[in-house]
Structure 1
C-alpha cells in the first residue's frame, strides 16, 4: 500500500471507444441491436449485477431513490413545525433550529463511515442496517415526550440516512452501464432534492391537521416499507470485476474525458437510443456463462466477505483528494448551495407564522411549491442542458470533450440565485407581499444546478477515483453547511434579513465568478495534478 499519482494508477487522460462506428469490433459486447459498446464489459459470471434483468435493476434503483427521498424529506420536513415545536417545548428560535442543524451535521459526518464500510463489507449490509436505523429513529421521534428525545431520534435517522448520498451513486455504477448512468443519476438527484421540497409541503398540512407526531408516523410507515423491500428484494451489488472483460480488450482504457456525460450523450444521439432501452447482453460465440445462479435465500445473505484491503485503507482514501482543484471547487459550491437552501428554509416559519402574515403551518408549507419549481429548473439546467451544451462545445472543437465546458452554464445560477436571495431577504425585512418572497424562493432554489455541475465536474475530471472524490464532497459540504446554518438565526436576529441575504447573494455570485479561471486553466491543472501529486492511497 503506497501513495501514487493518477497517472501511475492508470487514470490519466486516455480514450475509450463507446460507439463502434465502423462496426468492426467483434471482441466486445454491444447493446443488443446497436453499435453501443457496453462499458464496463460484463463478466461471464451469471451472478454479475450487470447481467441482472432490467426489472431487477430498476427495482433496486427505485428503493435507493425512495430511501434518499425519505431521508431528506424527514430532515427538511420539520421546517414548518419549528415555530410550533418551539411553543410546545418552550424553546427559543435558536434552540428549535437544532432539530435540523444537528441531523445535518451527522448526515455529513456519517458518510465517512458508511462509504468505506460498504467498500469493505459490501453495500447490502450497509443499506439494510441504515434503512432499519432510519425506521426505528422515525418511530422514536413519533413517540418522543420531550425535546431532547426528539432531537436524539432525529440524529439517529440522520446517522442511518447519511449513507444515501454517496452510496446511491455507487450502486448506480454497480448495476448500470455507462450509457445509462447519466439519466439514472439525474433521476436520483431529483428524488434527493425532491424530498427536501415535497415533504415540507406535505408536512405543513399534516402538522396543521394532525400534529407533528403524525408526520413522523407517516415517514416511519413509508420507511418501514422501504426497509422490507431492501431486505427481501435488493441483493448485494458489489462485484469483483476483472480488468480484462469477456473478450480481450482492444479499446482504450476509460477516462474522465471520454466517459463524461456530454461525450456519451453525443454518441447515444447518433444511434438514436435512450438509456431505458437497455437489454441483457448476449455472450459472444465460443463463450459461456459460468457459476451457479444464486437461489432466492442466498440473495438474502448479508455477508459476502470483506475486501482484500483493510477498512483503514478504505477509510483513509478520500481525505487527500481535497488537493484536486475540481474537488475543492465542487465542495465549496455544494456547501454554499446546501447552506443557502437550509438556512432559508429554517426561517420561513419564523417569517410567515408571525404577524403581519400569521399563517398556519399548512399555509407556511406552500412556500415549497416555488422551491419545487426552482429545483426542477435547476435540475434541467444542471443535467440535460449541460449535456447539450457539452455536445455543442465538442462539435466546435473537433469532437474533443472537455470537462470544463460544463462550467459555462454556471452563468444561469450566477444570475438567478443572487436575485432570488435579494428578493427574499428584502421581502422578509420589509414585510412585502408574500408573492415577492415566493418568486425569490423559486429563483434561489435553482442553485442546485451549480451543485449538480460541480459533482459532474468531479466525475468527469477524476473518473477512476470519482467515488472517493464524491465522498469527500458529500461529507464536507454537510459539515460546512452546518457551521454556517448554526450561526444563521442569531445572525439574522442581529443584522436583519435584508443584510444577511444580501451578503449571501454577494458570496454566491463571487464564487460563481471564481469558476472563470477554472474554465480556462482547469485542464492544465488536472494534467499537472495527475502527473505530480502522489495522494492516491491504493
Structure 2
C-alpha cells in the first residue's frame, strides 16, 4: 500500500496507522475469499482505530472477488475482559490493538486472560488470532508463522504447507526480498568473496611471527601487536561503517572499504620497517572492517526470517574460513617465496573482488520511500480482485495492486538499473539520526540478549584467536618442530571443522526452530533455536581441552591438530551463527548495530589477548590460557542458553519500550 498516497486520501493519518491498515488489508486480500467480519478492538476509543477502519472500508468497496466484497462487515468496539469477545459467537478474524503499556499488560504471555482468549479463538472457533502490537511503535518479534484459514499470507513456495514469509514481501520486483535465487546467490557470493579476501591478509600473520621477529629484531609481544591493532580497528571502525551504509548505501560503503584495503595491502608488501608495517596494519584494519558487519546487514535485507540462520551461518563460515586459510597461505608463500608476495597475491584477489562488486553487487538498502514504488510487472492472481471495475495507470488507493502483496513476485524479481548506481540517494532520515547510529550500539549492549550474544560470539571467536596466536609457539618447538608452512597446513583442520559447522549450524538451528514452531501452533519465538547450541558447546569444551592439554603434555600431533583444531573450527562457526541469529530475530531493526557491538566486544578482548596470551603460555604453559578461553566459551554460552530458553521472552518484554523498535 502506498503510504504517502493514503496520507493524501485520508487526512490525519500517520505511518503507524497506515501500516496497521495495510497489514489487515493484505491479510484479507491474500485470503482470496470473503471474510464474514473484521472486528477491531481497542480498550478505548482512539483516532488511530477509526482511521484504520476507514482504510479497511475503502478496501471493502474496491477489492472484490467475483463481484463480492472481500469484507462483508466491519465492526469496531472497545473491550477489556475476554468475555466480551466470547459473547460475539460469529465467524471472525480478531485483531487486538494495544494503545499503551497499561493495555498491553492485560495480554502478556503470563496473563491468564490472554491465554484464555487465545485458547477460545483458536480452539473453540477453529480460527487463528492475529495479534498486532503497535503500542508506541513497538513491535513484538514473536511471529505468527501460520495462516488465517491456511491461506492469507504469502508462502515460501506459494503453497499452504510451506513457511510463511516474514517479513511479507511487497509487489515490487526490485525489492531485494523478491530477487530471484540467482541474484541473491550472486550477491552472497560477492559478499563472501569480500569477507574472505579481506580477512585473509588481516588475520593471517601468525605463522610469520618468527620471521618478523628476526627481520625487524622485535620481541614476541611487538609482533603480536601487528595482529592486535588490526583486530581492534576491525571492531571499532564499524561505528562509522554502519552509519555510512545506512546513509549512503551498502554498495558505495563496501567499495570504499575495498579500495582502502587494496592500498593497505600494497603498503604491507612494500614496507621496509616495523613502524611502516605497523601503519599498514592500521590501514588494513580500517579497510577490512566492513567484513565484520555489512554481510549480515545484506542478509537481513534480502532473506526472510526462516532463511536467516542458514545465511548468517554462511557469513561466519566465510569469515572464519578466511581466518583458517590465511595462515595456511601466508606460511606456504613465505616458506617458498617471500612474505611480500603473500600481500601482493592478496592485492590481486582484492582487485578481482572490486571488479565483481561493481557488476554483481547492487544496492540492497531500502529506505522507507522504497515501499511507495510499485511495479506493474507483478500482479495479484487474476481471481483475487475484479480488475474490470478499476482501471488506472498508476497505483492509487482504489487500485487493488496498490493494496495487495502478491506472492507472485517472490523469487522472480531482479535489481533495477538504479540499484547499480555508485551513488545512491542519501537516506535523509538516517542522516538526520546519524548520532543515533553511534549511540545505539552502546544502548543495546546493555540489553540482556544482545549482551549475552556478544559475549558468546566473542568467546567462541577468541578461542580461535588463541589457537591462532599460540600455534607457532606450540608447534614450532619440540617434539613437533613444524616449519612455518607446516604450521600453516595445520589450519586445514580448522577449515574442515568450519565446513562442518557451516553445514550443520544454520540449517540445524532453523530446523529446530521450525519444529518447535509447529508444536507451538504456528507461533514462532526467537528462543526456539537456542537448544541447538548444545552440541557445539560440547565441541568447544573438547576441542580447547585437546589443544591446551595436548600441546602441554606433548600428545601426538593428530590429537592436537585433528581433534583440537577441528572441534575449535566447528564451534567458532556454529556458536556465533546461532547466538547472533537469535539476537537479530529478537531485535531486527538494529541488525547492523548488533554486529557492531558484538564485533567490538570480540575484538577488544582479542586485542588484549595479543598482549598477554603468548607471554602467559611461555611462563605458565598452555593449559592455563586455553582453559580460560574454554571456561568462558562454555560457561557463558551454556548459562545464557538455559536462561533465555525459559525467560528470553520476559527479557525481551523488559526492552519493549526501547526506541530501537521504531527505527
* TM-score bucket (shorter structure): 0.7 to 0.9
The equivalent of 2:651 in structure 1 is: 525
Partner of 1:468: 593
User: Secondary structure, in 3 states, of the residue corresponding to 1:239?
Assistant: coil
CA offset digits 1:350-409 (Å, max 9, x no partner): 222233322211111121121112222333443122222223333444443332232223
- Structure 1 residues 450 and 294, CA gap change in structure 2 (3 angstroms): closer
Structure 2, unpaired ranges of 5+: 1-99, 102-133, 396-413
Aligned mate of 2:202, from 50, 75, 79 = 75
- 2:353 counterpart (226, 246, 265): 226
Matched with 1:99 is 226
Q: Which residue of 1 aligns with 2:10?
A: none
Task: State the match for 1:483 in structure 2.
Answer: 608
Question: 2:308, 2:581 within 8 Å by CA — same for their partners in 1?
Answer: no
Partner of 1:445: 569
Question: Does the CA contact (< 8 Å) of 2:142 and 2:525 recur in 1?
Answer: no
Query: Structure 1 residues 225, 420: closer, same or farther in 2, change over 3 A?
Result: same
Cα gap change, 1:504/1:47 in structure 2, threshold over 3 Å: closer, same or farther?
A: closer
Distance 1:366 1:19, change over 3 A: farther
Q: Which of 102, 119, 125 lines up with 2:252 in the alignment?
A: 125
Q: Residues 56-97 of structure 1: CA distance to partner in whole angstroms, max 9, x if unpaired?
A: 443332211101111222222212112222112212211111
- Rounded to whole Å, the distance in 2 between the matches of 1:196 and 1:373 is 13
1:342 equivalent in structure 2: 465
Q: Is the 8 A contact 2:462 2:629 kept in 1?
A: no
Normalised TM-score (structure 1): 0.83
Counterpart of 1:363 (choices 456, 466, 486) is 486
Mapped partners of 1:390, 1:44: distance in 2? 28
- What's the counterpart of residue 323 of structure 1? 446
Any conservation in 2 of the 1:57–1:175 contact (CA below 8 Å)? Answer: yes
1:282 is aligned, of 378, 387, 406, to 378
Select 1:22's aligned residue among 115, 126, 150.
Answer: 150
Size of the aligned set, in residue pairs, is: 497
Q: Contact between 2:324 and 2:494, CA under 8 Å: does it hold in 1?
A: yes
Cα deviation for residue 333 of structure 1 reads 0.7
- Give 3-state SS (helix, strand or coil) of 1:487's partner: helix
Deviation at 1:9, TM superposition (A): 2.7
**Alpha-carbon distance in 1 for matches of 2:582, 2:169:** 26
1:12 alignment partner in structure 2: 140
Aligned to 2:333: 206
1:235 alignment partner, one of 359, 362, 366:
362
Answering whether residue 511 of structure 2 is matched by residue 415 of structure 1, we say no
Change (3 A) 1:390 1:82: same
Asked if 2 retains the 8 angstrom alpha-carbon contact of 1:120 and 1:310, the reply is no
Determine if the alignment matches structure 1 residue 436 to structure 2 residue 564: no
Tell me if structure 1 keeps the 8 A contact 2:144–2:524.
Answer: no
CA distance in 2, matches of 1:505, 1:32: 42
Q: CA RMSD in A?
A: 3.1
Give the TM-score normalised by structure 2. 0.68
Whether the aligned pair in 2 keeps the contact of 1:320 and 1:536 (CA below 8 Å) is no
Conserved in 2, the CA contact under 8 Å of 1:106 and 1:162? Answer: yes
CA distance 1:386–1:87, change in 2 (3 Å): same
Post-superposition Cα deviations, 1:196-237, rounded to whole Å, max 9, x if no partner, equal 112322222222111211111111101001112223443322
C-alpha distance in 2 between matches for 1:294 and 1:190 = 26
Correspondences of 1:359-398 after superposition (within 5 Å)? 359-398=482-521
Shift of residue 505, structure 1, vs aligned partner: 2.4
Residues 469 and 610, structure 2, Cα contact 8 Å, conserved in 1:
no
| Alpha carbons of structure 1 residues 409 and 30: separation in structure 2 relative to 1, 3 Å | closer
Aligned mate of 1:140, from 240, 257, 267: 267
Deviation at 1:246, TM superposition (A): 8.3
Find the aligned partners of 1:214 and 1:244 in 2 and give their Cα distance: 48
Give the Cα–Cα distance (whole angstroms) in 2 for the partners of residues 355 and 396 of structure 1: 56
After superposing the two structures, state which structure 1 stretch, 50-59 or 384-393, moved more: 50-59
Which stretch of the first structure deviates more once superposed, 320-329 or 504-513? 504-513
Q: Is the 8 A contact 1:138 1:157 kept in 2?
A: yes
C-alpha displacement at 1:313, in angstroms? Answer: 2.7
Q: 1:21 to 1:31 in 2, by over 3 A?
A: farther
Within a 5 Å distance, the mapping from 1:298-309 to structure 2 comes to 299-308=420-429, 309=432
Do the aligned partners of residues 19 and 59 (structure 1) sit closer, same or farther apart at CA in structure 2, a change above 3 Å counting?
farther
1:454 aligns with 2:575: no
Unaligned runs of 5+ in 1: 248-279
C-alpha contact 1:317 1:536 (8 A) present in aligned 2: no
Partner of 1:495: 620
Q: Distance in 1 between matches of 2:145 and 2:611?
A: 48
Indicate how the Cα distance of structure 1 residues 375 and 136 shifts in structure 2: closer, same or farther if over 3 A, else same: same
Change (3 A) 1:242 1:42: farther
Q: CA offset at residue 132 of structure 1?
A: 0.6
In 1: Cα distance, 2:481 partner to 2:354 partner = 39
**Offset at residue 50 of structure 1 (A):** 4.2
**Deviation, structure 1 residue 178:** 4.4
Secondary structure of the structure 2 residue equivalent to 1:162: helix
SS at match of 1:97: helix
Counterpart Cα distance in 1 of 2:533 and 2:169:
37
Superposed displacement of residue 51, structure 1: 5.0
